[in-house]
Amino acid sequence: MFCGISRRAWRTYSSSALSSSSTTIPPTIKHLLSFPPSVDSLVKTQGHVKAVRSFKNLHFVDLSDGSTHSTLNVVLNGDTNINFKVGQSVSFVGKWVESKGSQDYELLYDSTENEHKAAVIGEVPESYPIQKKSSSYQFLRTLPTLRHRTSSLASVLRLRSFLEGSFQRFFEQNDVIKVSAPLITSSDCEGAGEQFIVEAKDSKPENPFFGKPAYLTVSTQLHLEVLSQSLNRVWALTPCFRAEESHTNRHLSEFWMLEAELSYIESVHQICDFTENMIRYVTQDVVQSIANDLAQSRYNKDERQAMEANWKTILQSEPWPRITYTEAIEIINKIKNKGRSKGRLTWGDSIQTEHEKWLAETHFKSPVFITDYPKAQKPFYMPESENQNSTVACFDLIIPGIGELVGGSVREHNYEKLLQELKNRNMSIEDNEWYLSIRENGTVPHGGFGMGMERLVAFLSGMASIKDVIAFPRTPGSCSC
């Protein structure tokens, strides 16, 4: 089925697409190839020229509209009087025929047939930069309006779209309700101060637009906690913003965060279980449904193999290992820094990205959960770990090649303890009254997590930089359009 139209009704559908006055949208190339019309029927199609080939008296145009990695082969018979070039947007009306090449079907355009038509919709200059030859991803970042016409980057956007639907299915199966949290907030969830200020262009400092300082959100967690108290389990996928001067392949100033908040959670391991099940579910969904689209969109064999190895890493049969922060420090010092005093970590030091990658890639060769970090390293809302007063009930999920993918914790639901922690950190009680009020009105134990969507997309697509898995990357000094 496609837009409510069955294959049986295809003849009517394809015929109506030929009428310029029809209100039915034309079929995509993906639909034409998945549900081929009757042989010898008249079909209209359109897209961008990916390649032009000539053999003796026959000419071929490889046509793509971005709906699939596959191109539609258009055979040109006779004189078209059109100089087809890579990058043009074109339309054809021709006969649907069985192919003698690698595809099952192709479109035959014959200039001697009155019903057949060919037209250039959008012309390109001679300097059109997206040619069939390979271009580096760094070069493509200089072409923000054109780079997604390449097969690899178009496949990444299709992967993102597919993943959103897959997450939706997973959460529905687990009774987690999708909600919309605000992007403008008066709170700093992470407490790091790396926020963008939101203010009206002509406002005066003594009369702020929102009546108090407001910022673009760094995380929707605090608002999801509010909604989880009413709906039990909630999730959101929203843009988040960090005013962090970072130029690494792992950081963006604007990125998408998938966050969930689950009520009646009392152990950090419950959240770890849920997180592992979620990522395994969507990865299996990718492998079963769109693996071919991703693989065929990557012309580099090594890239394809690396991408497929990442899928196997996620879907390994053994449960992902779990270690505490204390155990992680011991492993890093004992094995990675064996025999070296310089570079050794002491308890309380931050585990750096290079350590995280080493643990996942080299030591465990697997995603790994690190739990129970020192209290001083984490935000105010995390409760103390069981039987400990120096660590908190939290986790980071580390994956090979990426480092941290997911961070989460149990949330402190005791009013007095949360209030005291705010005081200990010299945080404004007044600014956090709304958040404290949750603990005064039928509070329940709860916990949740946040996952950087771009980092997961990068891992599943085998891309080295998250700048290449978001449509328009925003980084310090870069906002070209």
Q: How confident is the prediction along the chain (481 residues), in pLDDT tens digits per residue? A: 333 334 444 444 444 445 444 568 889 999 999 999 999 999 999 999 999 998 877 889 999 999 999 999 999 987 778 899 999 999 999 999 999 888 899 999 999 999 999 999 999 999 999 987 778 989 999 999 999 999 999 999 999 999 999 999 999 999 999 999 999 998 877 666 689 999 998 888 888 899 888 999 999 999 999 999 999 999 999 999 999 887 877 889 999 999 999 999 999 999 999 999 999 999 999 999 999 999 988 768 888 999 999 999 999 999 999 999 999 999 999 987 776 656 789 999 999 999 999 999 999 999 999 999 999 999 999 999 987 779 999 999 999 999 999 999 999 999 999 999 999 999 989 889 999 999 999 999 999 999 999 999 999 999 999 999 999 999 888 888 8
Same domain assignment for residues 308 and 426: yes
What's the pTM value of the predicted model, to 2 decimals? 0.91
Note whether 108 and 153 are same-domain residues.
Answer: no
66/466 Cα distance (integer angstroms): 21
pLDDT of residue 22: 59
Alpha-helical segments (H) within 297-375:
301-314, 325-331, 353-357
Q: How many domains does the chain have?
A: 2
pLDDT of 11 reads 43
Among 415, 474, 461, smallest CA distance to 442 is for: 415
Q: At which of 128, 162, 182 does a domain end? A: 128
Give CB contacts under 8 A, 24+ apart, made by 157-160: 157/471, 158/290, 158/293, 159/286, 159/290, 159/294, 159/457, 159/460, 159/461, 160/453, 160/457, 160/469
Alpha-carbon separation of residue 366 from 234, 274, 327, 357 (angstroms)? 28, 17, 16, 10
Residue found under tokens 């809302």: 381
Last residue of a domain, one of 128, 160, 194: 128
Task: Lay out the sheet containing 177-178: strands in order across.
Answer: 177-178, 233-241, 254-263, 446-452, 403-411, 394-399, 368-371, 322-324
Are 409 and 373 in contact by the 8 Å Cβ rule? The answer is no
Cα–Cα nearest to 68, from 301, 295, 306, 283: 295
Q: Are residues 159 and 265 in the same domain?
A: yes
Q: Are residues 380 and 249 both part of a single domain?
A: yes
Q: For residue 110, give its domain range.
A: 29-128
Residues found in the chain:
481
Q: Which of 128, 157, 187 is the last residue of a domain?
A: 128
Domain-located, residue 457: yes
Clarify whether residues 220 and 87 are in a common domain.
no
Does residue 365 form part of some domain?
A: yes
Residue 151 included in any domain: yes
Both tokens of 40, joined, read 């010898």
Q: Are residues 221 and 308 in the same domain?
A: yes
**Residues 97, 209 share a domain:** no
pLDDT computed for residue 323 by the predictor: 97
Q: Are residues 321 and 436 in the same domain?
A: yes
* Structural domain contains residue 393: yes
Phi, psi of 99 (to 5 degrees): -90, 150
For residues 207-224, one letter each, b for 16 or more C-beta atoms within 10 angstroms of the residue's C-beta and e for the rest, the string is: eeeeeeebbbbbbbbbbb
The CATH number for 67's domain is 2.40.50.140
Provide the CATH number for the domain around residue 341. 3.30.930.10
Q: What residue type is 65 in one-letter code?
A: D
- For residues 243 and 198, give the distance between their C-alpha atoms in angstroms, rounded to a whole number: 12
Q: What's the pLDDT score for residue 103?
A: 87
Q: Which two tokens stand for residue 42?
A: 């008249």
Instruction: Say yes or no: 117 and 161 in one domain.
Output: no
Half-sphere exposure of 466 (CA within 13 A, CB side): 24
Do the domain assignments include residue 133? no
Does residue 184 sit in helix, strand or coil?
strand
Distance CA 177, CA 267 (A): 21
Q: Is residue 328 part of a domain?
A: yes
Both 124 and 155 in one domain: the answer is no
Q: How far apart are CA 340 and CA 319, in angstroms?
A: 32
pLDDT of residue 249: 79
460 and 344 co-located in one domain: yes
Instruction: Say whether both 258 and 331 belong to one domain.
Output: yes
Distance between CA 152 and CA 209 in Å, rounded? 43
The verdict on residue 410 lying in a domain is: yes
Q: Which residue has the tokens 């993918």?
A: 405
Quick check: is 22 in a domain?
A: no
